[in-house]
Amino acid sequence: MAGLLGDPTASGPHRVAQASGREAWVEVVRSPVLDDAGGLACWSLQVHDVTAHHDAEAALRADAEQARRVDEVRAALEEDRIVLHAQPLFSIARGVLVGHEVLARLRRRDGTIVAHGAFMPAVERFGLAPRFDAHVLERAMRLAAPGRPLHVNWRRATCSGAAGRSRRRAPASCGRPRRRWAAR
């Protein structure tokens, strides 16, 4: 147990440094061993490898958090709480503003704003990305106006559905994932 990190006599889970350098989790069960007179002779330690169990619990916690986030996004879509922010895009060569990139954010019921990176992995994993992208694209197309181009990122799978739900034609860049489109 030279690789045990922590008090080896304490019951409960412990991290163990393996010879390979990988950390593992062990469960230590501490039991008294009594002598013939009923007094404490020594402690018996049983060590069980619970790395797989510990890893599975961590994965389940991560899955539950992603499911909670996707539920939060579904509710935000239904309640129109996906807000669009415009980030200015400048041409470095010309030194002029060429448009704005649309950034989607989630506004919680309490008013706090959640950045894209905090919820998009769950949206993609649970298949909500096409609906989310269509919502953002439709709102961005309503905001775009002549002389006020907006650039929107989306996935290839989103393009086929977005063109059918809008009166505007899908952009030519639709076959390429994560490209920008300037609505004019």
Name the amino acid, one letter, at 140.
Answer: A
Pairing of strands 4-5, 12-17: antiparallel
Tell me, what's the pLDDT at 37?
A: 74
- Residue-number span of the structural domain to which 148 is assigned: 80-183
**CA–CA separation, 153 and 162 (whole Å):** 13
Domain match, 25 and 85 both: no
* pLDDT at position 176: 39
Asked whether residue 100 falls in the same domain as residue 167, the answer is yes
pLDDT given at position 93: 93
84 and 45 belong to one structural domain: no
Compute the distance between CA of residue 107 and CA of residue 76 in angstroms, rounded to an integer: 7
> Looking at the structure, do residues 105 and 165 belong to the same domain, yes or no?
yes
- CA dist 174 and 162 (Å) reads 10
Work out how many domains the chain is built from and give that number. 2
Residue 171: DSSP 8-state: P
Distances (CA, A) of 79 to 45, 74, 75: 56, 9, 6
Domain assignment of residue 58, yes or no: no
Residue that has been written with the tokens 């935000």 in this structure: 76
Same domain membership, residue 102 and residue 31: no
Is residue 102 domain-shared with residue 157, that is, in the same domain?
Answer: yes
- pLDDT average per 10 residues of sequence, the chain (184 residues): 52 68 71 73 66 80 89 95 91 89 93 92 90 90 76 64 43 40 43
Q: How far apart are CA 79 and CA 90, in angstroms?
A: 33
pTM of the model: 0.57
- One domain, residues 86 and 43: no
Say if residue 111 is in the same domain as residue 26: no
DSSP state of 154: -
Tokens 């996707």 sit on residue: 70
Q: Are residues 17 and 107 in the same domain?
A: no
Q: Looking at residue 73, what is its pLDDT?
A: 95
Identify whether residues 156 and 93 lie together within a single domain: yes
Distance of CA 80 to the CA centre of its chain: 21
| pLDDT value of residue 162 | 45
Q: What is the pLDDT of residue 16?
A: 72
Q: Is residue 60 part of a domain?
A: no
pLDDT for the residue numbered 92: 92
pLDDT for position 153: 72
- Residue 10 pLDDT: 64
Residues 103 and 160 in one domain: yes
Within this chain, do residues 170 and 84 fall inside the same structural domain, yes or no?
Answer: yes
List, in sequence order, the alpha helices (H) in 114-165.
Answer: 116-125, 129-143, 156-165
